[in-house]
Amino acid sequence: MAQRGRRSARVSGDERQDAILVTAEALLARRAFDDVSIEDLARGAGISRPTFYFYFPSKDAVLLALLDRVITEVEHRVGHLPRDFESDPAGAWTRSIGMFVEVFVSHRGVSTAAIGARARNDEVRGLWSKSMQSWVDFSSDVIRAEQARGAAPAGIDAHDLAVSLNLMNERVITAVLNRESPAIAETAALDVLSTIWIRSIYGSDNPGGR
């Protein structure tokens, strides 16, 4: 008896969801968020419009999922950096800030769309704020520890300094992503930001005498 031909592998729900997200990010690299339609997302993922709604209730929900992925990538990559602030404070801050800049620039379309959506979408604004708060908490803890060991001078409250520096990062990176004018050149952003952080925290370009 002849064997039946093998059935083609079924596409799982997770794979279809991923296909929608991959399509969305590819489209956002070329178009503004408002110019991307549900039909575009469904077509790119190889599904129908009604099937799209099985995975996401709206286009904004797709953006929220993409932003969550970007933030998770930042946290994962920064979390795996060496915490050598005592032995190499300037290098440690530069690597941490650099990872943040690198990830958001590499996902420019998603980042730009999310920045634009914050004013009208409470969920996007909430996720962005949660991420910023996490980075502020981390920065505050390190600054406080550096002040306690005498490497950084006391003065501005560690939390207030961390908030100010992180908001500066956010605004500078936003201008770079949106290609605003005025803005820092993308190639200079990390050097400028890390220099300001290090001088603000330590009062020196070369903390630790390295």
Is residue 18 a contact partner of residue 32, using CB atoms and an 8 Å limit? no
Q: What is the pLDDT of residue 12?
A: 59
Give every residue of the chain whose pLDDT is below 50, as ranges. 1-9
Listed by start position, the domains of the chain span 12-57, 63-203
Instruction: Tell me which amino acid residue 134 is.
Output: S
Total residue count of the chain as it appears in this document = 210
Sort residue 81 into left (φ over 0), alpha (ψ -120 to 50) or beta: beta
Q: Do domains 12-57 and 63-203 have the same CATH topology?
A: no
Is the link from the previous residue into 182 a cis peptide, with omega within 30 of 0? Answer: yes
Q: What is the pLDDT of residue 209?
A: 64
What class has domain 12-57? mainly alpha
The architecture in CATH of the region 63-203 reads: Orthogonal Bundle (1.10)
Distance of alpha carbon 88 from the chain centroid:
25
Q: What is the pLDDT of residue 7?
A: 40
- DSSP for the chain? -PPPPPPPPPPPHHHHHHHHHHHHHHHHTTS-GGG--HHHHHHHHT--HHHHHHH-SSHHHHHHHHHHHHHHHHHHHHHTS---TTT-HHHHHHHHHHHHHHHHHHTHHHHHHHHHHTTT-HHHHHHHHHHHHHHHHHHHHHHHHHHHTTSS-S-S-HHHHHHHHHHHHHHHHHHHHTT-SS---GGGHHHHHHHHHHHHHHSSSSGGG-
Q: What is the pLDDT of residue 79?
A: 87
